[in-house]
């Protein structure tokens, strides 16, 4: 092959394939879309084959693009491993550590611990991605991430697990709501009022739906939103109430416009855990991050 394959361009192509959009991939990799597009064009020139087809709806991989994406993903993983191994030979802690985390851990606990970790290990870059709990666990099992933080789950056989934080579910209400006089609220009582659904299909949404079915009620929220901050805006103007993690309520519903009450059910006592594929030895940067997250 006449031209050399640039590893960075290959990584950008893999990210673009995963995101399904040049614009989203550029934002994730912190590069201008035009520069990313040129990198992919250079990669196609190096392979002398079309890798993707662009359209107003996004991108679609060619057959060659699918092969390059699959091999490129493994190549990037091996390259990051090589970089960490070489640094460790020199006694340094560096390289890239992949971290997948669910929404509530990213809102309430991770930022401060990651900031402290980065101060101690400036040569380590954290590749942080938000995922649902089920996707975090699956990524750990498939070795697609080095560390995962999410709600404690029973479907984690084959992974090492450490406590991360307690993040119980609470009910967030607008000030002067009829239920604000209660010290704690049962889920059935909360369901008698208009509910706000957050992140349909996520772990919390599925949990609420399953427990509504157990008590013979239909989980039919009045408003559906994608995030906890938007849910709190809806609560603030009186469009409904919501069950959410304490971390999210602390971040977005801490003013006097809101009332927060514990959810009485035992299943509301959620625990967040750190997960990692069982490995021995484990890369030093990954192990250092795990120790930092454990506090």
State the pLDDT at residue 182.
93
At 263 the pLDDT is 96
Which of the four pLDDT bands, split at 50, 70 and 90, describes residue 1? very low
Mean pLDDT estimate for the chain = 90
Give tens-digit pLDDT for 170-226.
Answer: 999 999 999 999 999 999 999 999 999 999 988 899 999 999 999 998 888 889 999
pLDDT tens digits, 54-85: 887 788 899 999 999 999 888 887 887 776 67
Does 94-166+271-294 match 169-268 in CATH topology? Answer: yes
Is residue 168's pLDDT more than 80?
yes
**Residue 89, pLDDT score:** 61
Which pLDDT tens digit goes with each residue over 116-167? 999 998 988 899 999 999 999 999 998 889 999 999 988 777 899 999 999 9
Averaged pLDDT, 17-43: 89
The residue ranking higher by pLDDT, 12 or 156, is 12
* Assigned CATH class of 169-268: alpha beta
Q: Report the 3 state secondary structure along the chain.
A: CCCCCCHHHHHHHHHHHHHCCHHHHHHHHCCCHHHHHHHHHHHHHHHCCCCEEEECCEEEECHHHHHHHHHHHHHHHHHHHHHHHHHHHCCCCCEEEEEEECHHHHHHCHHHHHHHHHHHCCCEEEEEEECCHHHHHHHHHCCCCCEEEEECCCCCCCEEEEEEEECCEEEEEECCCHHHHCCCECHHHHCCCCEEEECCCCHHHHHHHHHHHHCCCCCCCCEEECCHHHHHHHHHCCCCEEEEEHHHHHHHCCCCCEEEEEECCHHHCCEEEEEEECCCCCCHHHHHHHHHHHC
Asked if CATH classification 2.40.50.140 holds for the domain at 94-166+271-294, the reply, yes or no, is no
Q: 92 vs 43, which has greater pLDDT?
A: 43
pTM of the model: 0.71
- Determine the pLDDT at residue 63: 92
Domain 7-76 CATH assignment equals 1.10.10.10: yes
Higher pLDDT, 165 or 7: 165
Domain positions in the chain are: 7-76, 94-166+271-294, 169-268
């Amino acid at each position: 092959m006449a031209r050399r394959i640039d590893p960075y361009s290959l990584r950008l192509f893999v990210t673009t394939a995963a995101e399904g959009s040049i614009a989203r991939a550029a934002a994730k990799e912190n590069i201008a879309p035009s520069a990313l597009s040129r990198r992919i064009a250079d990669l196609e020139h190096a392979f002398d084959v079309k890798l993707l087809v662009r359209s107003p709806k996004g991108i679609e991989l060619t057959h060659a693009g699918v092969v390059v994406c699959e091999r490129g993903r493994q190549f990037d993983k091996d390259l990051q491993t090589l970089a960490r191994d070489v640094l460790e030979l020199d006694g340094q802690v560096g390289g890239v550590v992949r971290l997948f985390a669910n929404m509530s851990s990213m809102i309430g606990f991770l930022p401060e611990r990651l900031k402290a970790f980065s101060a101690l290990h400036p040569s380590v870059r954290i590749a942080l991605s938000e995922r649902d709990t089920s996707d975090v666990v699956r990524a750990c099992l498939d070795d697609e991430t080095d560390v995962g933080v999410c709600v404690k789950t029973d479907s984690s056989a084959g992974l090492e697990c450490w406590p991360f934080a307690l993040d119980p579910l609470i009910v967030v209400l607008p000030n002067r709501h009829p239920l604000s006089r209660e010290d704690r609220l049962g889920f059935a009582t909360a369901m008698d009022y208009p509910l706000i659904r957050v992140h349909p299909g996520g772990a919390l949404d599925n949990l609420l739906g399953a427990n509504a079915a157990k008590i013979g009620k239909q989980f039919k929220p009045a408003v559906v939103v994608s995030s906890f901050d938007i849910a709190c805006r809806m609560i603030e103007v009186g469009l409904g109430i919501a069950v959410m993690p304490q971390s999210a309520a602390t971040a977005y519903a801490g003013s006097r416009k809101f009332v927060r009450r514990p959810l009485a059910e035992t299943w509301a006592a959620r625990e967040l855990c750190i997960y990692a594929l069982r490995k021995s030895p484990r890369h030093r940067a990954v192990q250092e991050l795990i120790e930092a997250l454990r506090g």
